[in-house]
Chains A and B, each alone.
Chain A
Amino acid sequence: MSKYGLFLGCNTPALRPDVEHAIRKSMPQLGVDLVDLPGFVCCPAFGTFPSADEDAQLATNAWNLSLGEAEGLDLAVQCGSCYSSLSMGSHLLKDPKKLTRTNELLAKGGRSFKGESKVRHMMDVLYNDVGVDKISKTITKSLKGLHGIVQFPCHTLYPSEVVGFEPDKGPPHVLPDLLEALGATVEHYSLEYQCCGGAGGFHKADAPAAHNFLKSKLDAIKTETKADFIVVSCITCLMWMDVQQKPLSEAGEETYNIPVFDYNQLLALCLGAPAEQVAAISTINRDAVIEKIK
């Protein structure tokens, strides 16, 4: 049984708690114990302290990391932004000067950080700790007959010097492999590795451009694949791809209604968890897919 500090960030618990519930339901069944971290704060998101003050950025990163470190735990993270922010923080804190300065600040809040606690993405834990074999053996229902495409969260891929958990160089395959372990058929298409465009200030700066960017991706999925659903592993990707299909459909001739799931939601469903708890909140109706999970 492995044990991690569960770092949830802001969006998941506040806006998509069904994903949180899916995590809480699925991971322990696969032997991953998750421990809550009292007093956790925002990772901090890149648009906050990282855009304002590096000291505050690293202090906040270290605040969260120190909560795990105090328990002797690494952090398990689902949101791509949180994962990336915390990983970047850990990376920068390898610089002894920065670590010292950060500890000066942490001391004011009564904490300290040695740099021991690591940041792991939920998919990293599932792939590299649990393993696809165990997943396919443990599930009681499967996605057999369903076609899915994968949205790779950029934050889990780049920069590969700082983040990532693919076992080898070359095209990423952890997420597709995990999806296949659930019995789904994974399809590939031209814009597979394109960003969803949902994070940061892109849509604030130019909403039509951000929409078009997503549209190109959805169009490619529609014309090139038989996808029944999109699977993501980042709360930002999930919300952006789920929520924006409606305005996109309203604005143009094309209609988009491709259900979007977080991987843990599908995993929990395959482990028999009730959809009302683990896959309840979405803009695009997901019932058709959920019904087919047998």
Chain B
Amino acid sequence: MIDLEQSEVIPDMWKDVFDSEDIRFCFNCGSCISVCPASNASPPLLIRRLARLVLLGLEDELLDEDTPWSCVSCSRCEEVCPMGVRPFELGLAIRRWQVRNDETRIPPSIVELYKEGYTQPVSKAVALRASVGLGELPTIDKYPEMLKGYQDMLMATDVVSNNDYMFKG
């Protein structure tokens, strides 16, 4: 039982989560989840449920949801949603909202990205590359001024500047 008088209810939360009214058109039809690979996970990723939580403005429940993170970004939901809700983008938007409201949600990979420019050791895979006859790549670490520029740019974004302690050092 969710008592809407007792729960944290933010009527306009959807605006904070998503960038357009598209989400309000969701009529819980289920098309998105019928095609969603991650709906096979346990607990299942159910966009219609997430959309409902957003629209009802149930902050605590939405913060607790792990399922947005199990999306495989296949965008099938986006293709089939009759109402043009853009469910995949909604899922990403919910992640961003969670990141904004709970720093433990920050994906560690963005720290790597900030520091190295890549999520994989692109510039360090020299031996493997050589084994197939490839040389080194013009990776960003080879252009320090570019890497600095890239980092300066990111430092101007909210997620990096608000959590700068994670990115420095």
Contact = CB atoms under 8 A, between A and B. Distances in A.
A200 B75 contact: no
Contacts, number: 217
B150 interface: yes
A103 B138 CA distance: 24
A48 B109 contact: yes
B159 A210 contact: no
A47 B70 contact: no
Interface string A209-221: 1101100000000
Interface in A47-70: 47-56, 59-60, 63
- How many A residues are at the interface, by size bracket? 35 or more
Given A52-B99, A281-B132, A108 B153 contact: yes
Interface string A165-205: 00000000000000000000000000000110111111011
Contacts of B106: 52
Interface stretch (A15-23, A116-124, A126-134): A15-23
A230 B137 CA distance: 29
Given A10-B119, A108-B153, A159-B79, A198 B72 contact: yes
A53 B113 contact: no
Contacts of A21: 132-134
A38 B138 contact: yes
Give the residue among A10, A21, A106 with the most B Cβ atoms within 10 A: A10
Contacts of A96: none
Contacts of B156: 55, 104-105, 108
Contact of A53 (B75, B86, B134, B158): B158
A17 B134 contact: yes
B42 interface: yes
A25 B45 CA distance: 41
B142 interface: yes
A14 B69 contact: no
A109 B149 CA distance: 4
Given A21-B134, A41-B118, A158-B79, A209 B40 contact: yes
24 contacts: A8-B122, A14-B120, A14-B121, A14-B124, A20-B134, A38-B142, A39-B143, A45-B109, A48-B109, A49-B159, A51-B95, A53-B99, A60-B154, A84-B75, A154-B76, A157-B79, A158-B78, A159-B88, A162-B75, A195-B72, A200-B70, A201-B70, A209-B42, A276-B133
